[in-house]
Amino acid sequence: MSAENFVQYAAFLLVVGLLVRPLGSYMAHVFDGGKTILDPILLPLERGIYKIGGVEAQSEMDWKQYSLSFIFFSFAGTIVLYTLLRLQNFLPWFDKIFQVTPMSLDLAMNTAISFATTSTWQAYGGENTMSYFSQLAGLTGQNFLAGASGLALGIAFIRGLARRDSNRLGSFWVDLTRATLWVLLPFSLIGSLILVWQGVPMNFLHYTSATGLEGGAQTIAQGPVAALELIKNLGTNGGGFFNANGAHPFENPTPLTNFIEMLAIVALPAALTFTFGRMIGRPRQGWVLFWVMTVMFTGGLFFCAGPEQQGNLTTIRTANLIPSATAGQPGGNMEGKETRFGIGASVLTAIVTSNGATGSTNSMHDSYMPLSGMAPLVNMLLGEMVFGGLGTGLYSIIMVALIGLFLAGLMVGRTPEYLGKQLGPTEIKLITLYTIAMPFTVLILTAIAVIAKPGLDGLTTNSGPHGFTEIFFAYSSCFANNGQAFAGLSVNSPFYNVTTAIAMIVGRFGLALPALALAGRFGRQGRRQTTSGTLPTDSLLFAGLLIGTAIIVVGLSFLPALALGPILEHLMVK
Type of residue numbered 332: G
Backbone angles phi, psi at 5, to 5 degrees: -70, -40
What is the model's pLDDT at position 323? 60
For residue 92, how many other CB atoms are within 10 A of its CB?
12
What pLDDT score was predicted for residue 181? 96
According to DSSP, residue 461 is labeled: S
Nearest-angstrom CA–CA distance, 506 and 238: 19
Count Cα atoms within 13 angstroms, Cβ side, for 482. 34
pLDDT in tens, 487-514: 788 999 999 999 999 999 999 999 999 9
- The H or E element that residue 195 is part of is helix 185-197
Domain boundaries of the chain, sorted by first residue: 3-573
Instruction: Tell me the three state secondary structure of residue 6.
Output: helix
375 φ, ψ (degrees, to nearest 5) = -60, -55
Burial code (b: 16+ CB inside 10 Å, e: under 16) for 411-428 equals eeeeebbbbbbebeeebb
**What per-residue confidence (pLDDT) applies to 317?**
54
Q: Residue 433: count other Cβ atoms within 10 Å of its Cβ.
A: 16
Q: For the chain, how many residues are written?
A: 574
- Looking at residue 215, what DSSP letter applies? S
Low-confidence ranges of the chain (pLDDT < 70): 1, 312-331, 533, 574
Q: What angle do CA 174, 175, 180 make, to 5 degrees?
A: 100
Q: DSSP for 298-357?
A: HHHHHHHHHHHHH--HHHHHHTT---S--SS---S--TTB-TTTHHHHHHHHHHHHHHTT
Selection from 530, 508, 471, 512 nearest residue 155 by Cα: 512
Three-state DSSP class for residue 489: strand
CA end-to-end span of the chain, whole Å? Answer: 20
CB-based contacts of 202, cutoff 8 Å, min separation 6:
192, 196, 224, 225, 226, 227
**What stretch of H or E contains 48?**
helix 39-53
Task: Please write down the long-range contacts of 13-22, taking CB distance under 8 Å and 24 or more positions apart.
Answer: 13/294, 13/297, 13/298, 15/263, 16/263, 16/266, 16/267, 16/270, 16/294, 17/270, 17/290, 17/294, 19/263, 19/267, 19/270, 19/271, 20/270, 20/271, 20/273, 20/274, 20/290, 21/271, 21/274, 22/271
State the Cα–Cα distance between residues 396 and 8, nearest whole angstrom.
Answer: 28
User: How far is the C-alpha of 361 from the C-alpha of 375, rounded, in Å?
Assistant: 14
- Please state, in angstroms and rounded to a whole number, the distance separating the CA atoms of residues 53 and 524: 29
Amino acid found at 66: Y
Give bridge partners of residue 363 from the DSSP assignment. Answer: 337
